[in-house]
C-alpha cells in the first residue's frame, strides 16, 4: 500500500464531457503535466485514430488504448485525459484505480449534443455519434449503457453549467480531499474492475453487476450494491467486506416472514453464525425501548466488537438496527439490507440512524455510515402496493433535483416500473441510489447545504404528514404533495418554468401519488411547517427548482404565498375525497 499518493489523475467520461480541455488546466494548477490518451495512441501507432479504426477495427484500437494507458500509469505528476470508451475494459478500470484518482466528468446528453454541433466540435473519432437519424437518442442510449461504469469513478464533476476552469478546480479539490485517503484495498479495486460490461448492463438483469458506487465521505468508504435476485450472495459480500464469525440480523415481523430464512441460509452458507432478532413491524417500533430490548439481546449473545449487524427491512429496520449498531459497544459494523423502495433509494444510504421520541420523529440519533449497503431489488415484489407507490416519490424527487435523464426514463417507463419489470426497475433503482450516494459523499453531515437539496418536497410534505395525523399519508405520498406545493411556489416566484410544474404533476399522477386529503386547515399545515426542523432562524427554508436538476435553496418565500398555495392544494386534493 503506497504511503505517498502517486500523483496521477485520470479524467474519464463520455465524449465531449471536456476531458481534453480540462486536463491541462488541472495540470497547471498542480504543476503537473497533462497527457491525452489519444495522442499517446497516435504516437505509438504512427497514424491517426481514424486510420487505426479503419485498418485495425475497434478491437485493434482498444488494445492500443490499454497499452497507452499502461504507459501513462508509469509516469507521475500527470493528468491523463482518457477516451470515452476507456472504462469499457475491466483491465483499464483496474489500472486506473491502482494508479491514481479517477475523476469522471459528467455531462447531460443534451449538453454533449450541443457541444458536438459547435464549429470545432468533435474529432473524427467522435463524429460518428452525429451520423444517422437520431444523434441525441444515440448519445442517450450509449451513455446510459456506459453510465454504471462511469459511476465507478472516485469522484464525479457535473460539467453542464461549469466553465472548464471551474471543472478543473473541482477535480483539484477532489484530489486534495481524497488522494491521501485513497485506499488501495481489494474492495476499491474489485469495485473498479467489476461493474459488468455494457452488453450485460443494457439488456439483462444486473445480477452479476458489481457495486453501483463507493460512497466516500470524510469518515468512511463503503460499497453500495443492488441487483435483481441477488439475495443469496449476501454472505459472500459480507465476507468480502471483512466480516466473519457471528452476525446479528435485526428485522421486522413482516420482512422476517418473507426473507428471514433465505437471509439466514445465505449467511450460514458462507460460514457465519446467524442470530436473528424480530421486532413488530411499523414506525411504532422506532423507540429507545425497542433499542434497549435489542441491546439486551446482543448482550445475551455476548456480541463483540467487530461482529456485524445486518439491518434487514424497510427504513424502520434500517434506522432502529442502525441506531443500535452505532451505539452498542461504541459501534458495531453495520450492513444495510433494504427491502422497501424507500429504504433502498433513501434511508439505507447516508448514515443517518435514529429512533423517535414521543411525537418527535428521529429525535435521538447519529451519523453512522454502514460498512456495506446490499439491496436485492427483487424483494420489492412482496412489498405492499401502497408502500411501493410511496417509494417512487423519492425516486422522482432524485430525478427532479439531479438527473434529467432519469426523469425522462421514469416518464417513458412508468408502466414497466410500476409492474417491477426486472431490467428497468433494477437500472432505475441503481441510478437513484447512486444519486443519493453522490449527495451524501459531498456533504456527509449536512454542513455545506448540498445535502439539503434532498429536502425538495419535504418542507410542505412533513407538515402535511403531521397535520393529517401521522399514518394517514405515507411519507412518499406526503412528499409528492409537497413537491406540488414547492413547484407552484417556485412558479409564482418566477423561478420554476410552468412546463416543469405541469410535467411534474403529470408524472406524480401517473405514479398514482396524488392522494386525496381529509379536511384540514391551511393554518394547521403552516403551523406544522414552522415547527419543522428545517426552519432556519425565523424563515422557512424551501428547496425550489429553476429547472430539472437545478435546485435552489430559498428562505425568502413570503408566508402569504405559501399559505395561498397550501390552501389551493387542500381545496383541490380535498375535492378528490
Ligand X SMILES: NC(=O)c1ccc[n+]([C@@H]2O[C@H](COP(=O)([O-])OP(=O)(O)OC[C@H]3O[C@@H](n4cnc5c(N)ncnc54)[C@H](O)[C@@H]3O)[C@@H](O)[C@H]2O)c1
Q: Taking the CA of residue 22 as centre, how many other CA atoms within 13 Å lie in the half-sphere pointing to its CB?
A: 31
Q: Binder to ligand X among 66, 76, 110, 362 (CB under 6 A)?
A: 362
Task: Give min distance, CB of 215 to ligand X, in A.
Answer: 13
Considering beta carbons, is residue 111 or 254 the nearer one to ligand X?
A: 254
Candidate segments 96-104, 148-156, 228-236, 281-289, binder of ligand X by CB under 6 A: 281-289
Which distant-in-sequence residues (6+ apart) come within 8 Å of 436 by Cβ? 345, 346, 349, 350, 398, 454
The region of 119-127, 219-227, 270-278, 341-349 touching ligand X under the rule CB under 6 A is 341-349
CB nearer ligand X, residue 114 or residue 253: 253
Among 80, 116, 347, 522, binds ligand X (CB under 6 A): 347
Taking the C-alpha atoms of residue 134 and residue 145, their distance in angstroms, rounded to an integer, is: 17
Comparison of 477 and 488: residue with beta carbon closer to ligand X: 477
Instruction: Figure out which of the listed residues 340, 409, 468, 496 binds ligand X, where binding follows CB under 6 A.
Output: 340
| Residue 430 falls in the annotated catalytic set | no
Q: Are 291 and 263 in contact (CB under 8 A)?
A: no
Categorise residue 229: left if φ over 0, alpha if ψ from -120 to 50, beta otherwise: left
Considering 361, 475, 491, 541, which one is annotated as catalytic?
475
Q: Which helix (H) or strand (E) holds 140?
A: helix 135-150
Q: Does 346 bind ligand X (CB under 6 A)?
A: yes
Shortest distance, position 135 Cβ to ligand X, whole Å: 39
Which member of 81, 168, 342, 441 binds ligand X (CB under 6 A)? 342
Contact between 154 and ligand X (CB under 6 A)?
no
* 290 is annotated as an active-site residue: no
**One of 20, 156, 194, 339 touching ligand X (CB under 6 A):** 339
Q: Is residue 17 a contact partner of residue 107, using CB atoms and an 8 Å limit? A: yes
Q: In the complex, which residue's CB is closest to ligand X?
A: 315
> Binding residue for ligand X (CB under 6 A) from 39, 240, 293, 387?
387
User: Please, which residues bridge with residue 156 across strands?
Assistant: 104
- Region of 16 (left: φ > 0; alpha: ψ -120 to 50; beta: rest) is left
Q: Could you say which of 8, 19, 216, 451 is catalytic?
A: 451
φ, ψ of residue 550 in degrees (nearest 5): -130, 75
* Pairwise CA distance, residues 16 & 69, whole Å: 19
158: annotated active-site residue: no
From the list 352, 361, 430, 541, the catalytic residue is 352
Q: Pick from 92, 193, 254, 425: which binds ligand X (CB under 6 A)? A: 254
Euclidean distance between CA atoms 444 and 350, whole angstroms: 7
Q: Is 73 or 347 the residue whose CB approaches ligand X more closely?
A: 347
Q: Tell me which residue of 563, 499, 495, 551 sits closest to 527, measured CA to CA.
A: 563
Segment 465 to 484, residues that bind ligand X, using CB under 6 A: 475
Binding ligand X (rule: CB under 6 A), the pick from 72, 317, 321, 540 is 317
Cα 575 to Cα 516: distance, rounded to the nearest angstrom: 7
CA atoms 427, 430, 432, 438: torsion sign: negative
Q: Are 453 and 546 in contact (CB under 8 A)?
A: no
382 is a site residue for ligand X (CB under 6 A)? yes
Instruction: Note every long-range contact of 415-419, with CB atoms under 8 Å and residues 24 or more positions apart, other chains counting.
Output: 417/392, 418/388, 418/389, 418/392, 418/511, 418/512
275 is catalytic: no
Residues in contact with ligand X by CB under 6 A are: 252, 254-255, 258, 281-283, 286, 313-317, 319, 339-340, 342-343, 346-347, 350, 352, 361-362, 379, 382-383, 387, 475
Show which residues are catalytic: 330, 352, 394, 436, 446, 451, 455, 458, 462, 475
Amino acid at each position: 500500500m503506497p504511503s505517498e499518493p502517486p500523483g496521477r489523475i485520470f479524467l474519464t467520461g463520455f465524449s465531449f464531457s471536456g476531458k481534453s480541455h480540462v486536463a491541462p488546466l488541472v495540470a497547471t494548477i498542480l504543476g503537473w503535466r497533462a497527457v491525452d490518451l489519444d495522442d499517446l495512441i497516435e504516437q505509438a501507432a504512427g497514424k491517426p485514430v481514424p486510420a487505426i479504426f479503419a485498418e485495425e477495427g475497434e478491437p485493434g484500437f482498444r488494445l492500443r488504448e490499454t497499452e497507452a494507458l499502461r504507459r501513462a500509469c508509469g509516469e507521475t505528476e500527470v493528468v491523463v485525459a482518457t477516451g470515452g470508451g476507456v472504462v469499457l475494459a475491466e483491465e483499464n478500470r483496474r489500472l486506473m484505480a491502482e494508479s491514481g484518482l479517477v475523476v469522471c466528468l459528467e455531462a447531460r446528453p443534451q449538453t454533449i449534443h450541443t457541444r458536438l454541433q459547435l464549429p470545432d466540435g468533435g474529432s473524427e473519432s467522435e463524429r460518428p455519434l452525429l451520423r444517422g437519424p437520431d444523434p441525441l437518442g444515440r448519445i442517450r442510449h450509449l451513455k446510459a449503457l456506459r453510465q454504471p461504469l462511469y459511476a465507478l469513478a472516485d469522484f464525479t464533476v457535473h460539467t453542464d453549467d461549469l466553465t472548464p476552469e471551474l471543472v478543473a478546480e473541482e477535480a483539484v479539490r477532489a484530489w486534495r480531499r481524497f488522494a491521501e485517503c485513497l485506499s488501495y484495498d481489494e474492495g476499491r479495486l474489485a469495485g473498479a474492475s467489476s461493474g459488468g460490461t455494457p452488453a450485460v448492463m443494457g439488456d439483462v438483469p444486473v445480477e452479476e453487476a458489481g457495486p453501483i458506487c463507493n460512497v466516500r465521505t470524510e469518515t468512511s468508504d463503503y460499497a453500495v450494491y443492488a441487483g435483481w435476485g441477488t439475495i443469496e450472495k449476501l454472505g459472500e459480500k459480507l465476507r468480502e467486506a471483512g466480516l466473519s464469525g457471528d452476525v446479528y440480523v435485526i428485522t421486522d415481523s413482516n420482512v422476517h416472514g418473507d426473507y428471514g430464512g433465505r437471509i439466514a441460509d445465505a449467511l450460514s452458507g458462507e460460514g457465519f453464525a446467524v442470530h436473528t432478532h424480530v421486532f413488530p413491524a411499523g414506525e411504532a417500533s422506532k423507540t429507545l425501548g425497542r433499542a434497549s430490548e435489542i441491546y439486551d439481546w446482543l448482550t445475551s449473545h455476548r456480541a463483540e466488537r467487530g461482529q456485524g449487524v445486518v439491518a434487514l427491512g424497510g427504513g424502520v429496520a434500517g434506522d432502529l438496527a442502525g441506531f443500535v449498531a452505532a451505539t452498542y459497544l461504541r459501534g458495531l459494523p453495520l450492513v444495510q439490507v433494504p427491502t422497501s423502495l424507500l429504504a433502498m433509494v433513501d434511508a439505507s444510504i447516508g448514515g443517518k440512524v435514529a429512533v423517535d421520541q414521543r411525537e418527535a420523529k428521529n429525535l435521538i440519533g447519529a451519523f453512522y455510515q454502514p460498512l456495506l449497503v446490499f439491496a436485492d431489488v427483487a424483494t420489492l415484489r412482496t412489498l405492499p402496493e401502497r408502500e411501493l407507490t410511496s417509494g417512487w416519490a423519492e425516486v422522482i424527487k432524485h430525478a427532479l433535483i439531479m438527473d434529467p435523464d432519469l426523469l425522462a426514463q421514469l416518464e417513458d417507463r412508468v408502466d414497466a416500473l410500476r409492474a417491477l419489470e426486472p431490467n428497468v426497475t433494477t437500472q432505475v433503482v441503481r441510478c437513484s441510489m447512486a444519486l443519493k450516494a453522490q449527495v451524501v459523499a459531498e456533504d456527509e453531515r449536512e454542513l455545506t447545504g448540498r445535502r439539503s437539496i434532498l429536502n425538495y418536497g419535504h418542507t410542505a410534505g412533513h407538515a402535511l404528514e403531521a397535520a393529517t395525523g401521522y399514518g394517514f399519508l405515507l411519507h412518499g405520498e406526503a412528499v409528492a404533495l409537497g413537491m406540488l406545493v414547492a413547484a407552484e411556489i417556485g412558479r409564482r416566484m418566477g423561478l420554476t418554468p410552468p412546463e416543469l410544474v405541469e410535467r411534474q404533476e403529470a408524472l406524480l399522477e401517473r405514479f398514482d401519488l396524488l392522494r386525496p386529503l381529509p379536511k384540514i386547515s391551511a393554518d394547521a399545515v403552516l403551523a406544522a411547517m414552522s415547527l419543522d426542523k428545517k426552519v432556519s432562524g425565523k424563515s422557512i427554508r424551501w428547496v425550489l427548482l429553476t429547472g430539472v436538476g437545478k435546485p435552489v435553496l430559498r428562505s425568502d418565500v413570503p408566508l402569504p404565498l405559501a399559505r395561498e398555495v397550501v390552501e389551493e392544494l387542500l381545496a383541490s386534493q380535498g375535492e378528490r375525497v
